[in-house]
Structure 1
Amino acid sequence: MSMDIKQIQDLIKFVAKSGVNEVSIEEQDFKITIKTNQEPTYVTASIPTVAPAPLPTAAPVAPVAEPVVPAAAAPTANEEANFITIKSPMIGTFYRSPGPDKPVFVNVGDEITPGKVLCIIEAMKLFNEIESEVSGKIVKILVNDAQPVEYDQPLFLVDPR
């Protein structure tokens, strides 16, 4: 039995989502080892390592094709200092709504209170509702729907009221 490229890509995605450091599979005619580090692995990962501390909140959602984004994001970082950042409590896949044909939990401009469901993070086929711990207004949603997220990755910016 050998794995095709699709199976290998699926396995890599699974390992990245699961949070394990290393997976090895050995069969008679092949061997595959997938190692991950626990740092977020984005195509734009070189930007956060050299950027000032506030910038990584904007970097993961920046399109790869726009190298101008880090410079443009710097002035907004100062404005964002007054906002509360709601971060992901786990590794998984971010969903804005409870289902494909259901309305989103929150939009930019929505008022939130503690206990309000903001999103779902799916990890290992478990759907975890993420509730707000703060009151305020959603200023920015930092992650796209169905995008993988890392532990402690910023998800929302909230203007506290």
Structure 2
Amino acid sequence: MNIHTTDIQNSQSDIIILNNLVQDWVETGWRHTPEAPFDFRERLERFYDWSSEGTQFFDDFDQKRRVNRNVAQYAAIWDEVIPRMRRLTNILVGRPSTLVSSDLAVTSVQFITSFVTAEGEEGRAHTLSSLVWRRSANGWRIIREHGSGLPSQDE
């Protein structure tokens, strides 16, 4: 086996690991139900790089559309918004698409969010997220995130 073959196998292994992480991030990490209330740090700490400089997080589901320069700022948004909802669940659309280069990776993922507001209004949002991951001693961690709403598939 040559070095090139080993690199390809390692990259494929990383892609499998990252795609599994993404599914868990989407479907479990971002879940809020009466049985399992949402707390960003409790649910999502293991996915994000909390200590690095140069991180950036944005999601247009945030009504103020803030660009956050660290995870704590980003977490504060969702810890204020999501627990007030009655329910929020996500399901993947298709499979994540991941590219790996050394200790950096980028993933593109689509998912449907279903939610019930505090007032009982039901809604759905189709989102495209781009995630940049960096490998650390603790595994892969998100250092950049950009989530944008897409037109409903019903439109």
Task: Verify same fold: TM over 0.5.
Answer: no
Higher helix share: 2
Q: TM-score, normalised by structure 1?
A: 0.26
Greater Cα radius of gyration, structure 1 or 2:
1
* Greater per-residue strand proportion: 2
